[in-house]
Structures are given as C-alpha cells and as structure tokens.
Amino acid sequence: MGKKKVVVIKGDGIGKEVMDAALSVLSILDLNIKFIEAYAGYECFKKYGDTLPDESLKKAKKSDAILFGAVTTVPGQKSAIITLRKELDLFANVRPVKCYPGIECIRKDIDLTIVRENTECLYSGIERYTDEGAEAVRVITRKACERICEFAFKIANEKVTAVHKANVLKKTDGLFREVFYEVAEGYPEIEAEDVYVDAMALYLITKPQDFDVLVTTNLYGDILSDEAAGLVGGLGLAPSANIGEKNSLFEPVHGSAPDIAGKGIANPTAMILSSVMMLRHLGFEREGDLVENALIEVLREGKVTPDLGGNLKTMEMAEEIKKKIMELS
C-alpha cells in the first residue's frame, strides 16, 4: 500500500480542539499516511477572505481522504462543507448509530447506519422569491437514487429500509422508492422494505433495534440522523463519512460550539470515531479496530469529558485512549 495523503481541515472553535485530540491518538499508530493541513471556515475567511480557498480545494481533490473538524458559518458566504461535498461529488453521507458501553442510551442493542443522499433534494440550492413569498425546487434524479441505493445495499448485513414520503410526493419520492426496489433485485440476500419518513421518526424511538441500514434522501436523512444520535448519547458521539467515487471526507456532526471553544472540555469521541471510519475506508482495518476498542474501554471506565458525566479535558481523554491503545497492542 502506497503512502496515503490525508488533508486535515481543523476549522473553527472546538473543531481545532477535537482534531488535535484525534491526531494525537493517530500519532502513536504505525500509519503509512501523510497528513497535509488546509484551511476553511470563519477564521480562514477573516485571514484569507474566503471560507474555502482554492488552495484548500485543490489539496482536497488530490487527497485520499479529508479529516474535517467543524466550522462556524459566515453569513452571506459559501458553506465550506457543502462546497466540498458538491465539488468532490461526495454523494453518500454515512452516519453510524451505535450504543457504546458506559453511555446512557435509549436501548443497549442499537447498531444501525443511516445512508443519506448528499447532493440534491431540497438542498439543491435552487430557490427564488415570488410575488407570494418564496419557493424551493426539490431535485431527485434517477442517477442519484441508483447510486445511493447501491451504496446502501453494499454495506448492509441483513436489511435495507428506504425512507420516503411517496404517498404525498408521488413523483419525487415515488421515483426514489421505485429505483430502490429496482436496485434491491440485485441483492436477493438482503431484505428490502420501505417506510414513510414520519413513521420512521417514530420507529427510531420505539424500535431502533429492528433496523440495519436506512437509505433516504438529503433532507430526511439530515433530520433523522440527528434524531438517531440522540438515542445513543448525542452529537458528541456521532461520527460521519461523506463518500464519493474518487474522494472521501470524514467529520463529526457537531458544530464548532463557540460557547465552549477554548475551554478544553469538548468531547473528542465523534472526531476520533470519524478517524476510525477513515482508517477503515483507507484499508487500515486493524488500526481502526484498535482505536475503536481502546475508545470503548475508556468510555466503559467513565474516563470522559463533562458532557458525558466525567471531568476530563479533551486532551486528557485522548491520552487515556492512547494508553489503552498501548495496552491492547
């Protein structure tokens, strides 16, 4: 395996803090990875006049993966993360939802993945004012439906559930549902079912253990994945991946949290788990398992940050994980 190039974008607020913690954990592994720093976000805008400079985008396009912290929104300016998703065609947003030992969860047997189409739907950005108010265009294409459904079936173990509202949005969600079952024919070993999005919002609360992989459109996936994170401890434990045919980006789903930035108390778990997803995506399966297992032991022992009921600082928790890695190696 040749040396992999990973672009690191720390961003703003606690993005920098949790990224430093994750990089500290990765630093003790024997990884054939070259880390390359790039810039994006609010502080980048203040310094360079751009939330995502061309140089950062060029580095991202040439990388094997991107580790992204968190950025603060700049009113009136382009979103760095949405621009990266579009420019790199990162069509699949992957959000694992898993209950870890030591964490208060709605159930202990939750282990599902939400796969969200990442490029279109109401997030297409096509909006306009009208005489009566405003309107937005919901874009659903056959190509996008096919590749996100293919992605979902490829990672599923037992079942894929399509989430839609085709009873109301008969053409757009109707197309999504139609394509889903067309793709399902190529995976006879995987159970395929579909559920209305409002019902799924309920089922995530009442029977999350019944699901394996959920596949859905952009807006539904955005909402449901945050709801699902609340079942297993909150956004501080929620990693994500944005996968394209050529590029990939890994980020925690929490924001830059300016209210606690600089205090050193941010929970690094989501960032570290995002790094684990990156390692596995790049072929470092053993190293990814090692980091996750070390993190599990730290969570089990309650050596965590204040949001999880502990008293450790961000980097102190990272140090505990590094100790566990050494013990497990």
The Cα 297–Cα 322 span in angstroms is 11
pLDDT at 1 over 70: no
Question: Is the Cβ–Cβ distance between 216 and 164 less than 8 Å?
Answer: yes
pLDDT band with cut points at 50, 70 and 90 for residue 136: very high
Residue 89 falls in the annotated catalytic set: no
Q: Choosing from 58, 171, 181, 198, which is the catalytic residue?
A: 198
Residue 289 falls in the annotated catalytic set: no
DSSP state of 3: P
Residue 196 falls in the annotated catalytic set: no
Residue 263's pLDDT is what? Answer: 96
Q: Which residues fall within 8 angstroms of residue 165, CB to CB, at 6 or more apart?
A: 173, 196, 197, 198, 220
Residue-averaged pLDDT of the chain: 96
pLDDT band with cut points at 50, 70 and 90 for residue 123: confident
Q: Choosing from 222, 313, 322, 324, which is the catalytic residue?
A: 222
Residue 110: its H or E element: none
For the record, the structure tokens of 172 come out as 């757009």
Residue 192's pLDDT is what? Answer: 98
Residue 198 falls in the annotated catalytic set: yes
Other CB atoms within 10 Å distance of the CB of residue 157:
10
Note the pLDDT tens digit of each residue in 225-256.
999 999 999 999 999 999 999 999 999 999 99
pLDDT band with cut points at 50, 70 and 90 for residue 125: confident
The Cα 60–Cα 8 span in angstroms is 9
Q: Which long-range contacts (CB under 8 A, 24 or more apart) does 75-79 make?
A: 77/45, 77/51, 78/51, 78/52, 79/51
Residue 169's pLDDT is what? Answer: 97
Q: Choosing from 10, 165, 313, 322, which is the catalytic residue?
A: 165
Domains of the chain: 1-93+240-329 (3.40.718.10), 106-231 (3.40.718.10)
Residue 226 falls in the annotated catalytic set: yes
pLDDT at 312 over 70: yes
Q: Choosing from 50, 123, 194, 324, which is the catalytic residue?
A: 123
Q: Choosing from 111, 226, 289, 307, which is the catalytic residue?
A: 226
